[in-house]
Amino acid sequence: MLIPNAGGVSAAAIATPNDSETPNPGFDVDGHRGDLRAIGRSRHFLRNRQIYSEGDDADCVFKVESGVVRTYKLLRDGRRQINAFHGPGSVFGLEIGKVYGISAAAASDCAVTSYGRRNLEALAAYNDQLLLQLFSSVMLSLAREQEHSVSLGRRSATEKLAIFLLSCAGQSAGGRDILLEMSRKDIADYLGLTIETVSRTFSDLEHRAFIELHGARRVRLTDITGLRDLCA
């Protein structure tokens, strides 16, 4: 079976360390773990280190082990749009073409496993489970990107940030305490805003008692229902 129902694969949340609801399908093929382990190589990146750039030869696929990776595009004048944050379990770097169509960098210190593309393809050629997981991870990325487009095109700053925080919290997971591993600039470039607007909107949400800020990185969602109601 090649395009089956993948059970509870939801497309909403951004994968984060505490995101227990929508784990991006990693490579966990029963009975083939050994194979995968053999071709995977563990690598570490410090915050803001480049992992690959748009146009580089796409010879590796990555899975996040810890920390957060951002994938993004740059315009010539320096404007940046972050397409996705990838937390633990999330797969990125999969390409059909010869080169990467998007750049990737560490949004926080992070550990990833890299898989040589040729090796991975060879493995997938006779392993339907792995192939399905790769397919699923692309479909999940697409569904998230579609949802993200709605935010970018049709939502206000408040709605964008509310949705972002909810997805960070993994929505229904008990964890209403979030540790934001990325900078304000990263959040701004993800949501299509400026850092000033992001900061003001954080403050506004706090004044309106939807959240509590403990430093810039720690956020407690004190009114999740209210946050949900904020976003149409």
Partner DNA sequence: CGAAGCGTTGACGCGGATCAAAGGCAGTGG
Partner DNA sequence: CCACTGCCTTTGATCCGCGTCAACGCTTCG
Q: Which residues form the interface with DNA (CB under 7 A)?
A: 156-158, 183-185, 192-200, 202-203, 213, 215-217
Q: Which does 171 bind (CB under 5 to 8 A by kind): DNA, its own copies, none?
A: none
Nearer to DNA, 108 or 127 (CB): 108
Q: Which does 38 bind (CB under 5 to 8 A by kind): DNA, its own copies, none?
A: none
Nearest-approach distance from CB 2 to its own copies, in angstroms: 5
Nearest-approach distance from CB 161 to DNA, in angstroms: 10
Q: Which does 197 bind (CB under 5 to 8 A by kind): DNA, its own copies, none?
A: DNA
Nearest-approach distance from CB 219 to DNA, in angstroms: 9
Report the alpha-carbon angle 25-111-96, nearest 5. Answer: 50
Q: Which does 174 bind (CB under 5 to 8 A by kind): its own copies, DNA, none?
A: none
Three-class SS state of 122: helix
Nearest-approach distance from CB 95 to its own copies, in angstroms: 7
Nearer to DNA, 118 or 218 (CB): 218
Nearer to DNA, 10 or 48 (CB): 48
- Give pairs for 123-129: CB < 8 Å, separation 24+: 123/32, 123/35, 123/36, 123/39, 127/29, 127/32, 127/35, 128/1, 128/2, 129/29, 129/30, 129/32
Nearest-approach distance from CB 229 to DNA, in angstroms: 17
* Alpha helices (runs of H) in 48-127, residue ranges in sequence order: 117-125
Q: What are the residues whose beta carbons fall under 8 Å from the beta carbon of 22, sequence distance 6 or more?
A: 9, 10, 11, 12, 13, 15, 140, 170
Nearer to its own copies, 172 or 218 (CB): 172
Question: CA separation (Å) from 178 to 30, 167, 171?
Answer: 32, 10, 11
Q: Which does 183 bind (CB under 5 to 8 A by kind): its own copies, DNA, none?
A: DNA
Question: CB 46: neighbour CB atoms within 10 A?
Answer: 10
